[in-house]
């Protein structure tokens, strides 16, 4: 056939396909949702089935402040990506950093709660079914918050080094999809553990 071949795919006019990053993240979110569903089902299934105490009503306190922190971090992240897209570097950096602070606050809240439960209430993962399902579900979510925070911090690092500009906003949006998902899961976990489960 013809001459030199370019390894770069030339998109034909009028032929557009969805952005692969978003599609992949949507798939990952589906997979994660399935995992969380199983944990939520286990939590609900074992509600009230513990053979010994403590039971949720005795020991759980509703973490309203820290939940507000986590949920509002979705908002700050949303605007941070908007500012990045619009090329406003300062606002992007500030809001991005604030998002990380909010996420870290939430983790601090969880740590505090677990410390209280373990050392004051004597509830560990092996105490009873409530302990097992509670730490598993909240811990799984906390793990996702940690992963999200690490990735947010990597972006922050690159942003400080001046490597994140408007041209990366599509990629940054993929990460923000993940963070929104983690927040949405918290709404479910919160409802199941602190509202229905108490």
Partner 1 sequence: MSSDVMTIQKARTADRPWVESLHEWVTTVDHKRLGILYILYALVCLVIGGIEAIIIRVQLTRPHLDFVSPQVFNRMFTMHGTTMIFFVVMPVLFGFANYLVPLVIGARDMAFPRLNAFSFWLTALGGFLLYFSFLGGNGLYGAGSAPDVGWWAYAPLTSRAFSPGHSSDYWTIALMVSGFGSIGTAINIIATILCMRCPGMKLSRMPLLAWLYLIMAGMVILAISPLTAAQIMLSIDRYLGGHFFDTQAGGSATLWMHFFWIFGHPEVYVLVIPAFAFASEIIPVFSRKPIFGYPVMVGATVCIGFVSMSVWAHHMFTIGMNSYANSFFAITTMAVGVPTGIKIFNWLGTMWGGKIQFKTPMLFCTGFLFQFLIAGLTGIMLGAAPFNWQLSGSYFVVAHFHYVIVGGILFALFAAFYYWYPKITGRMLNESLGKLHFWLFLIGFHLTFDVMHIPGILGMPRRIYTYEPGRGWELWNLIATIGAFVQGIATVIFVMNLIVSYWKGQKAGNDPWDAWTLEWSVSSPPPAYNFASIPTVASRRPLWDQKHPEDPDSRYE
Residues that bind partner 1 (CB under 8 A): 1-2, 5, 7, 9-12, 15, 17-20, 23-24, 27-28, 30-39, 42, 45-46, 49-51, 125-126, 128-129, 132-133, 136, 140
Q: How far is the CB of 10 from partner 1 (least distance, A)?
A: 7
Q: How far is the CB of 79 from partner 1 (least distance, A)?
A: 28
Contacts of 61 (CB under 8 A, 6+ apart): 113
Instruction: Say how many C-beta atoms besides its own lie within 10 A of residue 170's C-beta.
Output: 13
**Residue number, 104 or 174, with CB nearest to partner 1:** 174
Per the structure block, which two tokens stand in for 154? 């990597």
Contacts of 70 (CB under 8 A, 6+ apart): 102, 103, 106, 145, 183, 186
**Residue number, 48 or 87, with CB nearest to partner 1:** 48
**Residue number, 69 or 185, with CB nearest to partner 1:** 185
Cis before 54 (ω within 30): yes
In 125-153, which positions are buried (b, 16+ CB within 10 angstroms) versus exposed (e)? eebbbbbbbbbebbebbbebbeebbeebe
Q: How far is the CB of 53 from partner 1 (least distance, A)?
A: 12
Q: How far is the CB of 42 from partner 1 (least distance, A)?
A: 6
Q: How far is the CB of 132 from partner 1 (least distance, A)?
A: 4
Angle at 93 between CA 87 and CA 97, to 5 degrees: 150
**Residue number, 99 or 133, with CB nearest to partner 1:** 133
**Residue number, 101 or 151, with CB nearest to partner 1:** 151
């Amino acid at each position: 056939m013809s001459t030199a071949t370019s390894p770069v795919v030339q998109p034909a006019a009028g032929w557009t396909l969805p952005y692969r990053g978003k599609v992949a993240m949507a798939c990952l979110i589906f997979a994660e949702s399935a995992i969380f569903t199983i944990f939520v089902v286990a939590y609900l299934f074992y509600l009230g089935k513990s053979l010994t105490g403590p039971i949720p009503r005795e020991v759980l306190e509703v973490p309203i402040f820290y939940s507000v922190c986590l949920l509002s971090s979705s908002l700050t992240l949303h605007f941070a990506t908007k500012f990045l897209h619009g090329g406003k570097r300062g606002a992007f950096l500030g809001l991005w950093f604030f998002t990380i602070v909010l996420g870290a606050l939430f983790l601090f809240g969880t740590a505090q709660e677990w410390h209280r439960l373990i050392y004051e209430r004597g509830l560990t993962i092996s105490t009873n079914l409530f302990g097992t399902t509670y730490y598993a579900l909240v811990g799984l979510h906390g793990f996702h918050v940690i992963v999200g925070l690490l990735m947010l911090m990597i972006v922050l690092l690159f942003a400080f080094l001046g490597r994140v500009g408007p041209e990366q906003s599509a990629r940054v949006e993929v990460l923000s999809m993940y963070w929104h998902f983690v927040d949405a899961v918290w709404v479910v976990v919160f409802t199941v553990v602190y509202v229905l489960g108490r």
